[in-house]
Every structure is written in structure tokens, then in C-alpha cells.
């Protein structure tokens, strides 16, 4: 049985070219980029070049605006805590109800510590109530955090327009965008926006786990999360993880080259999967229908069926997908994103996210469309909601 990997929003396969590019920095080129002898020169140059590539990938004006981190969560924590620390007199912050836990749980913690948080709602499509967000801004608002693409549903938020509107209301308010699920899937051009801080994570676009980056617009003051040496221009201490930084830069280059493929081929495979499921399985409903979404993601609810059981049966057929985000699966808590959208309980517990990548093939999609109806049929037989399911399937 071959593996069908449809969980690319959780993590991605390391691209072979990425691994190849990393290997020299585990072998001969092991110098510390801060050292002055010749051995360190290669490592230093590699970090410099990688910074330029990531700056280009994100459309930053200047490579100095990029700092390397260990992951998307660190990028978010650095941005949010870093901004708050240099603006201690202001206590109002804004975010959405559908952020990844690395923002959501940090905001909950800040709320407990005395910050006043405005939580912005989404509608049933997953679209953000931008009017409420703008109305919430006061002279005391220090930070607004909005993700660019949702990890569970793929819904895209117009962060460029939001950042402009925020600055019109209060030019001193900083805007952090969690771009982890957008990087490599849709175009990003930060120099054309008013976004101050933007986080990404390598393992979501075919680099290894354990490396990320944070864009900090020139002139934006943050204090470092990790204090120590002078690496990353004093914004993030710790010897640079040279092989992983090189890996992420290589992955970014490949992602940029493949962006058109993502927007066309990957999208058409996603649409084929979505249509194949919705037309063959009567209790399937599309979550976030009608919202603008990244091309690789679909989230489908199977009414009156337990999502974890669907995942186990898919696994038996060699298909990897997920319910909720990787961080919340296992908790049996229904997704906070789908709850915020008002998805009814009938499909809340049976919602599955399928996320594709440039390595997904048409055969993967055909195989999934072929296997899923029998799984749902089998699980429908053991569901406690027989009357409701009989009504749907009649």
C-alpha cells in the first residue's frame, strides 16, 4: 500500500534539493558564522545569502528586515512579546478568534496578565469582521495580530488592506501577521503593505522542522525574546542554525519557482478532491464555502460521524489527513476555528482537513475519492444518529 499524504498544513516532506543543500553545513562547513577565520567564512556567507533569499521571498525591502528563528511559534512570540515590551504603557491588543494556538494562547495569557484584548469574530464562511476590528482600535491599541491564511480551513484574510486601515485609525499601532500557512502558497509582497511584522515556518514549505523567520519592518522596535549574544542584530540571540537556515532558503527559492503550479495544478487537484467527495458522499458539507482560500486546503464535515474514526480508517488505507490543527488533535476538543464560524455540532466533530502540496499526484486524489465513501458508509452504520443519517442517505 502506498502512502497518500494529504496533511501538508501540519508539516511537509523535506524537498530532496533542500536536504542536498543542507548537507555541506553538517560536514566541512561547520564553522560558527560569527568567527573570523576562513573556516567560518562559508557559514557566514551562507547565512547572508539565505537572508537575501528569504527577504526576496517575502518581498521585504532589505535583508536586514529578516531574523531567523526556530519555528513559526517562536516568530509569533518574538513579534508579540517584543512589541509589547517596548510599549509597556499601552495595554490594548487585538486579534481574531481563529488564530493558531501560538497566537491565541499567548493572547489568552496576556489577558490574564492585565492586557485588554479585543477578540474579533468571523462569519459562517470564515471571513473576518473587519468593521469590528477597526472600530476596536483606540489610542491605547499597541498591537493587532491577524493571520494571513487559516491553517484549518485555508481562508485568506486581506492582511494588506487590514494593515492599511489599522494605520489610518492609529499610525502607532503595530501589525503582526502570522504568515505560516500563506508562505509558498500565495504571493507575498511585504514592501507594498503596512505590515510591521510577519512570521513564517520552514517546515510548512518543504524545509525541515525547527527553522523559521520573522520579518521586522525597518524602524520597528522589538525587544528580543531570547537574550544573549549579538546574533540577528541583537533581536534573537543564539548561534545561527546554519544548515537549517540554508535549507529554508533553498525551500523558499523552490516554493517561489513553483508558486504558479500551486495556484493552478494544486488548486485543480484540491477542487477535484472536494467535488469528488461532495458529490459522492451525501452527508459531506464544505466548511468555509464561499471564502477565498489558499489553493491547497479543503475542510469537509461529515455529518453525524466522529472525525477521529474517519482518520483512523483513512490511515488503514494509507491516507494521512487531520481533524483540527496538529496541535489540538488528540485533545478531542472540537476545532476553535470551526466553532468560531458557527459550524453546527452535527458536522463539528466530523470535520476533516485535507491539505495538498506540489508533490500530491492525481492518483493520490483519485485513490482518496475512491476509498472515502466506503469508510463513511461503514462508520454511518455504527453512528448513534441512525435516524438522521437515514434521512440524509435515503
Interacting stretch for ligand PLP, rule CB under 6 A, among 176-184, 281-289, 335-343, 357-365?
Answer: 176-184
Closer residue to ligand PLP in complex, CB, 328/360: 328
One residue of 31, 72, 82, 301 binding ligand PLP per CB under 6 A = 72
Binding mask 144-163 for ligand PLP (x = CB under 6 A): ---x---x------------
Q: Please report whether residue 102 would count as binding ligand PLP according to CB under 6 A.
A: yes
How far is residue 289's CA from residue 335's CA, in Å, rounded to a whole number? Answer: 17
Closer residue to ligand PLP in complex, CB, 210/318: 210
Which residues are the active-site residues?
Answer: 327
- State the nearest-atom distance from the C-beta of 74 to ligand PLP, in Å: 7
Closer residue to ligand PLP in complex, CB, 51/100: 100
One residue of 51, 92, 100, 236 binding ligand PLP per CB under 6 A = 100
Q: Please report whether residue 55 would count as binding ligand PLP according to CB under 6 A.
A: no
How far is residue 272's CA from residue 263's CA, in Å, rounded to a whole number? Answer: 14
Question: What's the Cα-to-Cα distance from 112 to each of 39, 89, 109, 116, 249, rounded to whole Å?
Answer: 49, 17, 5, 9, 38
Number of residues lying near ligand PLP (CB under 6 A): 15
Tell me which residue of 251, 155, 257 sits closest to 209, measured CA to CA.
251
- State the nearest-atom distance from the C-beta of 375 to ligand PLP, in Å: 25
- State the nearest-atom distance from the C-beta of 105 to ligand PLP, in Å: 11
Interacting stretch for ligand PLP, rule CB under 6 A, among 40-48, 177-185, 249-257, 330-338?
Answer: 177-185
Residue nearest to ligand PLP (CB): 72
Interacting stretch for ligand PLP, rule CB under 6 A, among 71-79, 119-127, 281-289, 298-306?
Answer: 71-79
Beta strands in the chain (DSSP E): 4-5, 66-69, 92-96, 116-120, 141-147, 174-178, 197-201, 212-216, 284-286, 297-302, 319-320, 351-355
Tell me which residue of 248, 178, 173, 177 sits closest to 209, measured CA to CA.
248
Q: Please report whether residue 232 would count as binding ligand PLP according to CB under 6 A.
A: no
The DSSP code for 348 is H
One residue of 155, 201, 283, 383 binding ligand PLP per CB under 6 A = 201
How far is residue 255's CA from residue 223's CA, in Å, rounded to a whole number? Answer: 31
Q: Scan residues 312-331 and list those touching ligand PLP (CB under 6 A).
A: 325-326
Contacts of residue 293, Cβ cutoff 8 Å, sequence gap at least 6: 149, 153, 154, 155, 156
Burial tier of 97 (Cβ tally within 10 Å: 0-12, 13-18, 19+): middle
Q: Please report whether residue 96 would count as binding ligand PLP according to CB under 6 A.
A: no
Beta strands in 158-266 (DSSP E): 174-178, 197-201, 212-216
- State the nearest-atom distance from the C-beta of 219 to ligand PLP, in Å: 25
Contacts of residue 337, Cβ cutoff 8 Å, sequence gap at least 6: 98, 126, 150, 152, 153, 324, 325
301, 282 in Cβ contact below 8 A? no
Q: Residue 352: CA atoms inside 13 Å, Cβ hemisphere, count?
A: 30
One residue of 8, 12, 50, 73 binding ligand PLP per CB under 6 A = 73
Closer residue to ligand PLP in complex, CB, 84/104: 104
Angle CA 272–278–284, to nearest 5:
140
Binding mask 280-319 for ligand PLP (x = CB under 6 A): ----------------------------------------
Residues in touch with ligand PLP (CB under 6 A): 71-73, 100, 102, 147, 151, 178, 180-181, 201, 203, 212, 325-326
Amino acid at each position: 500500500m502506498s502512502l497518500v499524504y494529504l496533511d501538508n498544513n501540519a508539516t511537509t516532506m523535506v524537498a530532496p534539493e533542500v536536504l542536498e543543500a543542507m548537507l555541506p553545513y553538517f560536514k566541512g562547513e561547520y564553522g560558527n558564522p560569527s568567527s573570523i577565520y576562513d573556516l567560518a567564512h562559508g557559514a557566514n556567507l551562507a547565512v547572508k545569502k539565505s537572508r537575501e533569499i528569504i527577504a526576496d521571498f517575502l518581498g521585504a525591502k532589505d535583508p536586514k528586515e529578516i531574523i531567523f528563528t526556530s519555528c513559526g511559534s517562536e516568530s509569533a512570540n518574538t513579534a508579540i512579546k517584543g512589541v509589547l515590551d517596548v510599549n509597556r504603557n499601552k495595554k490594548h491588543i487585538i486579534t481574531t478568534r481563529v488564530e493558531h494556538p501560538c497566537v491565541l494562547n499567548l493572547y489568552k495569557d496576556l489577558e490574564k496578565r492585565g492586557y485588554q484584548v479585543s477578540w474579533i469574530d468571523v462569519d459562517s464562511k470564515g471571513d473576518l469582521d473587519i468593521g469590528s476590528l477597526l472600530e476596536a482600535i483606540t489610542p491605547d491599541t499597541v498591537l493587532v495580530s491577524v493571520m494571513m491564511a487559516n491553517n484549518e480551513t485555508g481562508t485568506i484574510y486581506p492582511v494588506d488592506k487590514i494593515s492599511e486601515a489599522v494605520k489610518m485609525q492609529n499610525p502607532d499601532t503595530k501589525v503582526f501577521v502570522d504568515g505560516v500557512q500563506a508562505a509558498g502558497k500565495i504571493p507575498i509582497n511585504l514592501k507594498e503593505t503596512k505590515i510591521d511584522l510577519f512570521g513564517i515556518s520552514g517546515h510548512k514549505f518543504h524545509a525541515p522542522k525547527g527553522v523559521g523567520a520573522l520579518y521586522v519592518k525597518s524602524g520597528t522596535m522589538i525587544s528580543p525574546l531570547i537574550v544573549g549574544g549579538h546574533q540577528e542584530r541583537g533581536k534573537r540571540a543564539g548561534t545561527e542554525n546554519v544548515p537549517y537556515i540554508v535549507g529554508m532558503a533553498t525551500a523558499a527559492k523552490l516554493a517561489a519557482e513553483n508558486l504558479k503550479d500551486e495556484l493552478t495544478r494544486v488548486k485543480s487537484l484540491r477542487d477535484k478532491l472536494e467535488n469528488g467527495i461532495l458529490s459522492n458522499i451525501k452527508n459531506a458539507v464544505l466548511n468555509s464555502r464561499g471564502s477565498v482560500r489558499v489553493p491547497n486546503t479543503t475542510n469537509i464535515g461529515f455529518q453525524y460521524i466522529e472525525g477521529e474514526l474517519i482518520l483512523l480508517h483513512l490511515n488503514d488505507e494509507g491516507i494521512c489527513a487531520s481533524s483540527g490543527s496538529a496541535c489540538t488533535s488528540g485533545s478531542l476538543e472540537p476545532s476553535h476555528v470551526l466553532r468560531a464560524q458557527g459550524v453546527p455540532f452535527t458536522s463539528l466533530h466530523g470535520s476533516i482537513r485535507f491539505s495538498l502540496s506540489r508533490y500530491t499526484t492525481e492518483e493520490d486524489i483519485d485513490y482518496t475519492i475512491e476509498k472515502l465513501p466506503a469508510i463513511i458508509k461503514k462508520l454511518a452504520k455504527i453512528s448513534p444518529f441512525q435516524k438522521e443519517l437515514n434521512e440524509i442517505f435515503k
